[in-house]
Structure 1
Amino acid sequence: MAYDTLISVSQLHGLLAAGTDVLILDCDFELGVPDKGRESYRAGHLPGARYAHLDDDLAAPSDGTNGRHPLPARVAFAAWLRTQGLKRGQQVVACDSSGSAWAARAWWMLRWMGHENAAVLDGGKQAWVAAGLPMETGDSPVAVPGDFTPGEPLVPIPVTARQVLANIATQEMQLLDARDPLRFRGEPNPIDPVAGHVPGARNRFFRDNLAEDGRFRPAEELARAFAPLLAGKPALLSCGSGVTACHNALAMAVAGLPQPRLYPGSWSEWIADPARPVATGN
């Protein structure tokens, strides 16, 4: 059986126990402390997991105008996936210790590469540990290169800043901002040099997709939460840098909602041009 949204701890453990070839990507990361995620990985990760660094592996370098975590070229990301041993059709499971904030980015990018069998570990590394399952420490060995080749994207084409600007006037798509309400409202914070949001956006904090135990809320509950925000319009997703917006994309997939479009540059790209409009408040 293949998994393309979420996979539970028991399901993943079952695959591994049966000898199924699974590529596990540990995506632990912390904004502002770029080495902490790798340290966390070395301190404990799922057996056989390989580390995916948000800045180095799941993003291209920022030039100051394209956001903090611009998408890498597809050919470059495909090459990195092969170095991690990814094979065509192989099941991939992404996980982290931050409510799947970073794992969802890996999931979306794999879909963007045309790789269908990609899922996020529901509940993350904490759920694995809570189940009493073993962890490994240290660095992973060099992988045997895989034969992965990118296919047609399984997600809609990402949106540019110019398209977001045009959408302010047309409102053809409903922009959902995944940042926390404080940042969305435009209150001073250490992350955004310019505070606020794109005019016309609505706030869907990505952590609201999770129940108290850190697992995703049931599909029906997620669908009920997104419906009034979208009001029948196609969804356009953003956040600070195109990362946690993917968490909302995953939640919508779990809920069985139409696929949204992603604005990868998100707020960090938007505010790089002072001519772009900024709104504040709720």
Structure 2
Amino acid sequence: MNQFTIKDIENLSGIKAHTWRIWEQRYGIAVPQRKDSNHRYYDNENLKQILRISYLYHGGIKISKIASFNGDEIRVKAMEGLPLENGNEYYIKELLEASIDLDEERFERTFQEALKVVGTENTILKIIHPFQDKIGVLWLTDHVIPAQEHFTSNIIRRKLAVAIDSLPVIKETNKKHIVLFAPEKEHHELPLQFIYYLLRKNKNKVTYFGSNVPLDAIDTFRQNKSFDHMLFHLVTNLTNKHAQDYVKEISKLFPEKKIVMSGMLVRQITHVPSNVRLLKSMDDILKFTEE
């Protein structure tokens, strides 16, 4: 069973911790569990109820009205209707609940419905990305719910692979040829897969190396094939090497290439070599893939 702090609840619901405490005192909702030491915590059932309450609240229902519902009524209300402007939040909530319960059928069903309604790109950008952000999976991995990381990432990876395979093969193009990879000991491949999808969708020629790639493998490829850009995505740092040092190393090793870096560790870069470009946000990534 997972145990969540009030800070976790704030991050996952988008509602401030002090607001939850006020609602607990005033309406008797979202009441946490207590350990033998009297420390407060929230369990899986607490979290699911909180997600439903926050979904209804963000959807415009007053908290006093939500508090008048019993637990079953809150669950039913949270399943009712999908107003267009709040549809993405509904899917995010459903994916979160499915992840908490390790409910693969529900996760798959929700994912498939989102793909059908909003399309692949918007599903990833507007649903999967904020979903991962909320529970600390992959792109912002703080392991709030560690058991669910493999469960969710494997399903998403399969969906992305299908979407990528459905794209036409780019044989001739006037656009850039990009070598795409994650550095050695970087194993978070989902963000890289999505960048691959965007690049291919926008008719770039891409050589995809995947994750955990040593620089000498790229160097060997350079000796045999021509390419313009190198894009690497760095989320974690398992080599004990500062990201700035890696950027300096790759810049010197490939001085003739245009090197592009994305990922969380972009924020560690204070000195940018002349042949390096930083993509600091999803908007920057989208812009680059469309150029």
**TM-score under structure 1 normalisation?**
0.28
Name which one, 1 or 2, has greater alpha-carbon Rg.
2
- The higher-RCO structure (CA 8 Å, 6+ apart) is 1
Instruction: Answer 1 or 2: which has greater helix percent.
Output: 2
